[in-house]
Structure 1
Amino acid sequence: MRNKELWFQVRLLSHKLREDHSISDGGVVCVSIPAQTSTLQLKYQVYRQLNLVHIVDEEKVVFKLRDPSGALIPLSNQLESNDSSRPFILEVVDIHQHIEATDWQTPDIDRTENLTSQIGSLNDRVEDLEHRMDDLSEDYADKLAEELQFLSNQTADLRKLMVDNKDE
C-alpha cells in the first residue's frame, strides 16, 4: 500500500504560543502517512511532524483543520492526499480567541411573583378541564342515549324475528 502525502500549512494564531519558536508558522509541510493509519495515529503523526505534540494535551488551544477553500473539516484518516500548492490549513488558536465568552444567567425574579404566576396558570388549567368535563358528560350522556336506543331497536327486531320463527 502506498503512503498518503498530506500537505499542511500551520497558522499559529494563538497569542499564547506565538513566542514558542519550536513551532513553525506559515510554512507548508508534508506529512507522509501509511494508507491504513487510524485517525488517532494520523493525528499523532501530524502533530509530531508539525512540532505540535507538546501542546496537544493542553486544553488552552484548539486545532482547526480547513480544506484549501477554507471550510472546516475533521482531521481523520479519510483525508485524501493533496499537493503543496493546495495544502490543508491547520490553525492553532486559543480557546474563545475569536469570540467573547459570556456568562449565561437567568434574571433574578421575585420568588413569590414566580409562584403566584405558576398558581394562576394551574388555576386556569383546572378551570379549563372542569369546563371540558361538563361538556364531556353531556356528550357522553347523549352518546349513551343513542347507544341505548340503538340496542333497544336491535332487541325489538330480534324479538320480532323470534316471534315470527315460532309461528312457522
Structure 2
Amino acid sequence: MRNKELWFTVRLLSNKLREDHSISDGGVVCVSIPAQTSTLQLKYQVYRKLNLVHIVDEEKIVFKLRDPTGALVPLSNQLESNDSSCPFVLEVVDIHQHIEAVDWQVPALNRSENLTSQIGSLSDRVEDLEHRMDDLAEDYADKLVEELQFLSSQTADLKKMMVAESKTE
C-alpha cells in the first residue's frame, strides 16, 4: 500500500503556544502516513510533525482542520492525499479560546407556577383526546366493517374452491 501525503498550512492561534519558538506559524508541513493508519495515529503524527508531543497531556489544544474552501473537516484517516499547492489549513487553538464557557442554569420557576403549567397542559391533552374519541369510535367501526366484508369475501372464495375441488375428486 502507498503512503498518503497530507499537506497542511499551520495557523498557530493558541496563546499558550505562541511563545514556543520551535513551532512555526504559517509554514506548510507534510505528514506522510501509511494508507491503513488509524485516526489516532494520524493525530499523533501531526503532533510529532509540529513538535507538540511534549504538551499532548499537559495542555489542552484543539486542531481545527479546514479544506481549501475554508470548510471545517474532521482530522481523520479518511482524508484524501493532497499536494503542497492546495494544502489543508490546520488551526491550532486553545480549548474555549474563541468562546467563553459558561455554566448552564435552569431558570428558577416558582414550584406552584410549574405545577399549574403542567396541570393545564395535561387538561388540554385530555380534552383533545375526549373530542377525538367520538371520531375514533366511528373510524374504528368503519374499519371493522371493512375487515369483516373482506374476510367474508375471502371465506366465500375459499368455499367455492373447496366445492369445486371436491367435485373433481
Common fold by TM > 0.5: yes
Matched, 1:93 2:87: no
Tell me what 2:116 maps to.
Answer: 116
Aligned pairs for 1:133-148 within 5 A: none
Task: Give the deviation of 1:37 after TM superposition.
Answer: 2.3
Same amino acid, percent of matched pairs: 86
Question: Judging changes above 3 Å, is the alpha-carbon distance between structure 1 residues 126 and 58 closer, same or farther for their aligned structure 2 residues?
Answer: same
Q: In 1, distance between residues paired with 2:128 and 2:34? A: 69
SS of the equivalent of 1:101 reads coil
Q: In 2, distance between residues paired with 1:90 and 1:132? A: 58
TM-score of the superposition, structure 1-length normalised?
A: 0.66
Task: Give the deviation of 1:123 after TM superposition.
Answer: 4.2
SS of the equivalent of 1:40 reads helix
* Conserved? CA contact 1:13–1:93, under 8 Å: yes
Tell me what 1:46 maps to.
Answer: 46
Q: In 1, distance between residues paired with 2:2 and 2:129? A: 72
SS of the equivalent of 2:55 reads helix
Question: Judging changes above 3 Å, is the alpha-carbon distance between structure 1 residues 80 and 130 closer, same or farther for their aligned structure 2 residues?
Answer: closer
Q: In 2, distance between residues paired with 1:39 and 1:113? A: 51
* Conserved? CA contact 1:24–1:51, under 8 Å: no
Matched, 1:17 2:17: yes
What is the RMSD computed on CA atoms of the aligned residues? Answer: 2.8
Question: Judging changes above 3 Å, is the alpha-carbon distance between structure 1 residues 78 and 127 closer, same or farther for their aligned structure 2 residues?
Answer: closer
Structure 2 segments unaligned to the other structure (5+ residues): 146-169
Q: In 2, distance between residues paired with 1:44 and 1:121? A: 53
Task: Point out the structure with max Rg over C-alpha.
Answer: 1
Structure 1 segments unaligned to the other structure (5+ residues): 148-168
Question: Judging changes above 3 Å, is the alpha-carbon distance between structure 1 residues 122 and 48 closer, same or farther for their aligned structure 2 residues?
Answer: same
* Conserved? CA contact 1:14–1:92, under 8 Å: yes
Tell me what 2:8 maps to.
Answer: 8
TM-score of the superposition, structure 2-length normalised?
A: 0.66
Q: In 1, distance between residues paired with 2:22 and 2:82? A: 25
Which string of whole-angstrom CA distances, capped at 9 and with x for unpartnered residues, describes residues 34-69 of structure 1?
A: 233232222222221121222333562211111122
